[in-house]
A and B are shown apart, each in its own frame.
Chain A
């Protein structure tokens, strides 16, 4: 996030796009409710009638995957009505002329026809977002999990910069991240192109610093992303894989492909706290300790580093993951002797300017948001104040690209996926919490009641859903949450996991798969008794 969660409640306009906040980030939705109580206008852009649409001043029921056309249309409306912030554009940005020229290709009528939103609604949204004193954009995987996810994010960046809605409190472009420490895994360099603190592996000076600190020769070649690793396992150029705390078989798209890739590995090590679909394919399984059994830190979606504290001992036989990695590292000739997680943190922070002012002693007083370059620095609640990280904010010229697989005559329905309130990912944890299991014990595919009527389906009836990759059987839940022609499935249950249906088309830059759109057909199997 460019800004912080508590700031949301002081925004005058909340522009929420591709985020089912009440179910996926409940304590962020709480701030959205407060903003509304304080008088903010709430704009919810989502093809589904999610819970927040009931609170929204405007619900834009955009067609799946047409965000770029919608945002380009909004910017056209903003420019033609002079709602843009010319002084912000002049002082803080570059590339505006090219964007202005490009937007001529997206007059409102054309954008409206692509995204299925009326011209009047687009003008209304454009005006409120651009002219409110403080407008904040919140988004989640409805924006990023597309084969054009990076284009969607850059378009939101354009929208914020053209209106000057960034670099101040309660504004900004704010991705709500889905996992407790997905921000931290990025911060720590768990990415093929950067070391800790986003220092790029292709920079000779940076690499020399890490070579000297770690006493090792390091590669200057950017590594493989997850989808590339799977492909390279299949062609044999990657032979071994070490997976820490991840149920790849259940969570990656095109399950059959991933299963095939992992079974092709000459040697597969999986470290986890429970047996999962992925540990079953491993040559070695190492039992780890869970979050309540070890010390450490997480980074939340606001870039805030916070302490995780050991409350209980791990079950006899399980060992904290950091100790396991140290044992392996030592056996493989990497210097890894630390007496505590705090010592690991200090080594990391000493190599990462963005975190170098943070240590466990300071974190006792509460979390700190990076960048925090020195011990007397208070941390950074919002980014880009006065200047962007790269200097001038760069506008990107973005064209609308349809999703790669859209409904057709053979597969006439559009499948999209997401979370349910009581569960988390592949239910490795929440499936073992009796209170949560009781709330949501079985999968339910949401369909529109008009489609249900057409197929003679009632709540709980079983359907078989088929795509070009696979098929599954699931009970249905008719209603008005999804529009006609669409199906929504959660990804929590192994017995009805939509990842078997999804394709492997990827965003060309981020390599993020198209989890939000694929074409399917369905047929009724049986009636619920």
Chain B
């Protein structure tokens, strides 16, 4: 059996507890608290202990979807990316960059939020980017 522990940071609240994800044969099978994290010192809450449970849910989205004739329809990544970029570009060119708004995510990584605001500011020349901090 291919078995490993991967040290990471909890995906739930802002405490930032460090945890060890238990991986067997490429699948998550458990979560342990990190003992030498200064934040959580070997402890986790009930959400943290069970953080691995949603990852392999059969309900995960695995195909890009485009609305066609009113229905969200599975498409290839190339089609989804080309279509999204061309529609956003058309709206930007017809109505100006201020006609497009972006919400980045308090769930994603710093690197992803950096890229979202860069895409908004550099690609559309607007500062209409926000996230749920004020909500």
> B67 CB to closest chain A CB, in angstroms?
5
Q: Give A347 to B118 CA distance when docked, in angstroms.
A: 11
Q: Give A448 to B52 CA distance when docked, in angstroms.
A: 37
**Quick check: A341 and B106 within 8 Å, CB to CB?**
no
Contact of A27 among B26, B43, B129, B134 (CB under 8 A): B43
A3 contacts the other chain (CB 8 A): no
Chain B positions within 8 Å of A273 at CB level: 60-61
Interface size class of A (residues with CB under 8 A): 35 or more
Chain B positions within 8 Å of A432 at CB level: 53-54, 57, 59
Q: Give A511 to B50 CA distance when docked, in angstroms.
A: 34
> B17 CB to closest chain A CB, in angstroms?
5
- Counting chain A CB atoms within 10 Å of each CB, the highest count among B38, B91, B125, B128 belongs to B128
Q: Give A297 to B95 CA distance when docked, in angstroms.
A: 36
**Quick check: B72 and A242 within 8 Å, CB to CB?**
no
Q: Mark A206-227, 1 if CB is under 8 A from B, else 0.
A: 0000100011111101111111
Chain A positions within 8 Å of B100 at CB level: 238-242
B132 contacts the other chain (CB 8 A): yes
Known A222-B127, A246-B103, A300-B39; judge A284-B109 contact (CB<8 A).
no
- Cβ-closest chain B residue relative to A507: B134
**Quick check: A284 and B16 within 8 Å, CB to CB?**
no
Contact of A244 among B83, B104, B118 (CB under 8 A): B104
**Quick check: B85 and A328 within 8 Å, CB to CB?**
yes
**Quick check: A225 and B134 within 8 Å, CB to CB?**
yes
Q: Give A285 to B73 CA distance when docked, in angstroms.
A: 9
Q: Mark B67-79, 1 if CB is under 8 A from A, else 0.
A: 1000010000100
A404 contacts the other chain (CB 8 A): no
Interface of B is mostly: mixed
Q: Give A283 to B118 CA distance when docked, in angstroms.
A: 23
Chain A positions within 8 Å of B103 at CB level: 226, 229, 241-244, 246, 248
Q: Give A477 to B56 CA distance when docked, in angstroms.
A: 34
**Quick check: A274 and B59 within 8 Å, CB to CB?**
yes
Chain B positions within 8 Å of A113 at CB level: none
Chain A positions within 8 Å of B91 at CB level: 239-240, 266-267
A72 contacts the other chain (CB 8 A): no
**Quick check: A433 and B127 within 8 Å, CB to CB?**
no
**Quick check: A244 and B105 within 8 Å, CB to CB?**
yes
Q: Give A287 to B61 CA distance when docked, in angstroms.
A: 5
**Quick check: A318 and B62 within 8 Å, CB to CB?**
yes
Within 8 A of B (CB), among A424-475: 424, 429-430, 432-436, 439
Chain B positions within 8 Å of A326 at CB level: 115
**Quick check: B135 and A24 within 8 Å, CB to CB?**
no
- Report the tally of A-B residue pairs with Cβ distances under 8 A: 420
Known A311-B8, A334-B118; judge A240-B15 contact (CB<8 A).
no
**Quick check: A433 and B72 within 8 Å, CB to CB?**
no
Known A318-B61, A334-B123; judge A245-B15 contact (CB<8 A).
no
Contact of A312 among B27, B125, B135 (CB under 8 A): B27
Chain B positions within 8 Å of A309 at CB level: 6-8
> A127 CB to closest chain B CB, in angstroms?
31
A296 contacts the other chain (CB 8 A): yes
**Quick check: A292 and B14 within 8 Å, CB to CB?**
no
Q: Give A241 to B99 CA distance when docked, in angstroms.
A: 9
Contact of B133 among A191, A282, A308 (CB under 8 A): A191
Chain B positions within 8 Å of A240 at CB level: 87-88, 91, 99-101
A28 contacts the other chain (CB 8 A): yes
**Quick check: A6 and B38 within 8 Å, CB to CB?**
yes
B107 contacts the other chain (CB 8 A): yes
- Cβ-closest chain A residue relative to B90: A267
Within 8 A of A (CB), among B41-66: 43-47, 49-57, 59-66
Q: Give A215 to B60 CA distance when docked, in angstroms.
A: 37
**Quick check: B118 and A336 within 8 Å, CB to CB?**
yes
- Cβ-closest chain A residue relative to B89: A332
Known A245-B108, A332-B85; judge A306-B9 contact (CB<8 A).
yes
Q: Give A26 to B17 CA distance when docked, in angstroms.
A: 10
> B114 CB to closest chain A CB, in angstroms?
5
Chain A positions within 8 Å of B80 at CB level: 284, 286
Within 8 A of B (CB), among A395-448: 421-424, 429-430, 432-436, 439
A201 contacts the other chain (CB 8 A): yes
A170 contacts the other chain (CB 8 A): no
**Quick check: B112 and A313 within 8 Å, CB to CB?**
no
**Quick check: B8 and A307 within 8 Å, CB to CB?**
yes
Q: Give A436 to B51 CA distance when docked, in angstroms.
A: 10
Known A239-B100, A290-B55, A334-B123; judge A245-B105 contact (CB<8 A).
yes
**Quick check: B46 and A229 within 8 Å, CB to CB?**
no
**Quick check: B122 and A218 within 8 Å, CB to CB?**
yes
**Quick check: A239 and B39 within 8 Å, CB to CB?**
no
> B98 CB to closest chain A CB, in angstroms?
8
Known A6-B38, A284-B66, A292-B52; judge A193-B119 contact (CB<8 A).
no
Contact of A242 among B21, B102, B125 (CB under 8 A): B102
A386 contacts the other chain (CB 8 A): no
Name which of A43-51, A99-107, A155-163, A180-188 contacts chain B.
A180-188
What would 20 more interface pairs be, CB under 8 Å, given A291-B109, A294-B109, A301-B14? A26-B45, A182-B106, A191-B133, A196-B114, A210-B121, A223-B127, A226-B134, A239-B95, A246-B106, A282-B65, A284-B67, A296-B108, A298-B110, A302-B39, A309-B6, A312-B27, A331-B82, A336-B118, A367-B16, A436-B50
User: Interface on B for A, CB 8 Å cutoff?
Assistant: 4, 6-18, 21, 23, 26-28, 38-40, 43-47, 49-57, 59-67, 72, 77, 80-89, 91, 95, 97-119, 121-123, 125-135
Supply 18 A–B pairs (Cβ within 8 Å), ascending by A. A25-B13, A176-B15, A191-B129, A214-B118, A246-B107, A274-B59, A279-B72, A287-B61, A287-B64, A291-B8, A292-B52, A296-B112, A298-B109, A301-B15, A319-B77, A328-B85, A328-B119, A435-B46
- Report, nearest first, the 6 A-B pairs whose CB atoms are least far apart: A300-B16, A296-B109, A223-B127, A245-B105, A177-B14, A331-B85
